C-alpha cells in the first residue's frame, strides 16, 4: 500500500528519508512542496532528483480529503462537507471577519462523548480522523481561499476574501480523544516550512480530558478553550458527561497548571519561533441554555469558581437542532449573565452566532457518517 506522506510531520519525514538512504533535509523540501505549494505530483517537485521522484512515486502518495459540497451563508461563512472515506464525511467551516479569518477544523467522525446539547454528540461516533484528514482540512481550505483571494485581487472585486489567520479545533469531535493525530496535525500547522502559524493562533477546544490537557502542555501548548457549561458538578455531570470522570475541581487544577506554564513556554517542539511571552489565559466556553444554566445565582457561582484561573469567558447562545430538547436563553438573560461576570472583574464576551442558516454554528455540525455506537437510532432524551 502507498504511504500517504500527508500523515507525516517533519520528524517522521526525516526518518522516512533516512530509511530511503536520503539526507534529512529532504523532509523540509517535501513539506514545502506538499503544504506551501500544494503540489501532489512528485514529478513536479523540481528540486528532488529524478531517481528520488521515481522512488516516491512507487511507494508513496500525497492524498488529501475531498470536498463533496460547499455552502455559503449570507454572512460569508463557508461550510464544506469533506469526504474522508466511502461512508464518512466531516464538516469544516470558514468564518471570515473584518480583520481575521478563522477555520474551524474537525478531529473525529462524530463524537463519543454525548454532551446533551450537541448535535455532533447526538449523532454518535465512527472513528478518529487521521493526521492527513485533519491537516488536509487546512490544506484544502487554504488552497481554495488563496485562489479566491488572488482572483479578488486581480479582478478588484469589492468583497474582500480573508486568508486563514486563526485555526480552532472546534469542529466535529473531541480533539483530545484523538490526541496523537491531533497533536501531529497541529505540529504541521505550526511548522514554518508548512503553514507557520504561531501557537497563539491555534485554539484547541476540549470538554475537559484532564490527563490530556497536561500532556498537551508539554507537547504543544496552543491556546486552550475549555467547554465548561455548568458551574457545579451536579449539572455538569448531566450536560457534559465526561465530568463524571474528570470533575470540575480536577479540571480547574489542570487549567491553572496550563495557564501558568504555557505563559512561559516560548516555543513548540520542532516548530518555528514564537517569541511572544504575553500571559496565557484559558477561554471558558459556556453555552446558554434557557432555564438550565443561565440564572443569576449560577453566574455568581461561576464567578467564584473561576477566581484562581487566568481566564476569559465566552458565552455561546445555544444553537438549536432538531429534537434537541433545549432552548436558547433570551438575549436579556445572556447580557445579565455577562454583566455579573464583568462586575466580578472577568473579561466576558458573547459569541456571535455565524452561519446558522447553513447549520455551521457551534454544535450544529453533523457531517454524514455511519454511527458505530447505535446512538443515532436512539431517541436520546434531553434533561
- Give the count of residues interacting with ligand SAH (CB under 6 A): 17
Stretch 263-302 residues interacting with ligand SAH (CB under 6 A): 285, 287
Stretch 153-182 residues interacting with ligand SAH (CB under 6 A): 170, 174
- Tell me which of ligand SF4, ligand SAH, none is bound by residue 362, counting a contact when its beta carbon lies within the kind-specific cut-off of 5 to 8 angstroms: ligand SAH
Tell me which H or E stretch contains 236: helix 233-239
Residue with Cβ nearer ligand SAH (10 or 329): 329
Residues 123, 319, 329, 360: which binds ligand SAH (CB under 6 A)?
Answer: 319
Closest distance of CB 181 from ligand SF4, Å: 16
* Contact flag: residue 173 with ligand SF4 (CB under 6 A): yes
* Angle in degrees, 0-180, between the axes of helices 10-19 and 179-190, rounded to the nearest 10: 90
* Contact flag: residue 329 with ligand SAH (CB under 6 A): no
Q: Which residues are catalytic?
A: 91, 362
Stretch 226-245 residues interacting with ligand SF4 (CB under 6 A): 227
Task: Quickly count: other Cβ atoms within 10 Å of residue 292's Cβ.
Answer: 22
Residue with Cβ nearer ligand SAH (138 or 161): 138
Asked if residues 226 and 189 have their Cβ atoms less than 8 Å apart, the reply is no
* Contact flag: residue 227 with ligand SAH (CB under 6 A): yes
Residue with Cβ nearer ligand SAH (119 or 187): 119
Write the CB contacts of 46 (distance below 8 Å, at least 6 apart in sequence). none
Task: Quickly count: other Cβ atoms within 10 Å of residue 291's Cβ.
Answer: 11
* Contact flag: residue 124 with ligand SAH (CB under 6 A): no
Report CA 137 to chain centroid distance, whole Å: 10
Residue whose C-alpha is closest to residue 94's, from 110, 72, 109, 120 = 72
* Contact flag: residue 126 with ligand SF4 (CB under 6 A): no
Residue with Cβ nearer ligand SAH (22 or 280): 280
SS3 189: helix
Closest distance of CB 240 from ligand SAH, Å: 7
| DSSP secondary structure, 100-133, as one string | -EEEE---EEE-SS--TT-HHHHH-EEEEPPHHH
With contacts defined by CB under 6 A, name the span among 7-15, 80-88, 114-122, 157-165 that binds ligand SAH: 114-122
Residue whose C-alpha is closest to residue 383's, from 289, 246, 286 = 289
| Rounded alpha-carbon distances, angstroms, from residue 124 to 17, 171, 329 | 39, 15, 26
C-alpha cell at 373: 455506537
- Tell me which of ligand SF4, ligand SAH, none is bound by residue 319, counting a contact when its beta carbon lies within the kind-specific cut-off of 5 to 8 angstroms: ligand SAH
Opening angle at CA 14, ends 13 and 19, nearest 5: 95
Nearest residue to ligand SF4, by Cβ distance, number only: 121
Per CB under 6 A, residues contacting ligand SF4 are: 111, 113-115, 118, 120-121, 173-174, 207, 227
Amino acid at each position: 500500500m502507498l504511504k500517504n506522506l500527508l500523515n507525516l510531520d517533519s520528524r517522521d519525514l526525516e526518518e522516512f528519508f533516512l530509511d530511503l538512504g536520503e539526507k534529512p533535509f529532504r523532509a523540509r523540501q517535501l513539506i514545502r512542496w506538499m503544504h506551501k505549494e500544494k503540489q501532489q505530483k512528485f514529478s513536479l517537485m523540481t528540486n528532488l532528483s529524478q531517481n528520488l521522484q521515481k522512488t516516491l512515486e512507487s511507494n508513496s502518495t500525497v492524498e488529501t480529503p475531498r470536498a463533496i459540497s460547499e455552502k455559503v451563508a449570507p454572512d460569508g461563512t463557508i461550510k464544506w462537507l469533506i469526504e474522508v472515506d466511502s461512508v464518512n464525511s466531516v464538516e469544516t467551516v470558514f468564518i471570515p471577519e473584518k480583520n481575521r479569518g478563522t477555520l474551524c477544523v474537525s478531529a473525529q467522525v462524530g463524537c463519543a462523548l454525548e454532551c446533551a446539547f450537541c448535535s455532533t454528540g447526538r449523532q454518535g461516533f465512527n472513528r478518529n480522523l487521521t493526521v492527513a484528514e485533519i491537516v488536509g482540512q487546512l490544506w484544502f481550505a487554504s488552497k481554495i481561499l488563496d485562489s479566491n483571494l488572488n482572483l479578488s485581487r486581480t479582478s478588484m472585486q469589492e468583497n474582500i476574501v480573508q486568508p486563514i489567520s486563526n485555526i480552532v479545533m472546534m469542529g466535529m469531535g473531541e480533539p483530545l480523544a484523538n490526541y496523537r493525530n491531533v497533536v501531529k496535525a497541529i505540529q504541521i500547522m505550526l511548522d514554518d516550512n508548512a503553514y507557520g502559524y504561531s501557537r497563539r493562533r491555534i485554539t484547541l477546544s476540549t470538554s475537559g480530558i484532564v490527563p490530556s490537557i497536561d500532556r498537551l502542555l508539554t507537547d504543544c501548548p496552543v491556546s486552550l478553550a475549555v467547554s465548561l457549561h455548568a458551574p457545579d458538578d451536579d449539572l455538569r455531570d448531566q450536560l457534559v458527561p465526561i465530568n463524571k470522570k474528570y470533575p470540575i475541581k480536577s479540571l480547574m487544577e489542570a487549567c491553572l497548571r496550563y495557564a501558568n506554564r504555557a505563559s512561559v513556554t516560548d516555543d513548540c517542539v520542532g516548530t518555528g519561533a514564537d517569541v511572544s511571552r504575553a500571559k496565557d489565559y484559558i477561554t471558558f466556553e459556556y453555552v446558554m441554555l434557557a432555564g438550565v444554566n443561565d440564572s443569576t445565582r449560577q453566574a455568581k457561582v461561576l464567578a467564584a469558581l473561576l477566581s484562581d484561573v487566568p481566564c476569559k469567558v465566552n458565552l455561546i447562545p445555544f444553537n438549536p437542532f432538531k429534537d434537541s430538547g433545549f432552548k436558547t436563553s433570551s438575549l436579556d438573560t445572556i447580557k445579565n449573565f455577562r454583566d455579573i461576570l464583568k462586575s466580578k472583574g472577568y473579561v466576558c464576551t458573547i459569541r456571535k452566532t455565524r452561519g446558522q442558516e447553513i447549520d455551521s454554528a457551534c454544535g450544529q455540525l453533523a457531517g454524514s457518517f455511519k454511527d458505530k455506537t447505535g446512538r443515532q437510532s436512539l431517541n436520546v432524551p434531553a434533561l
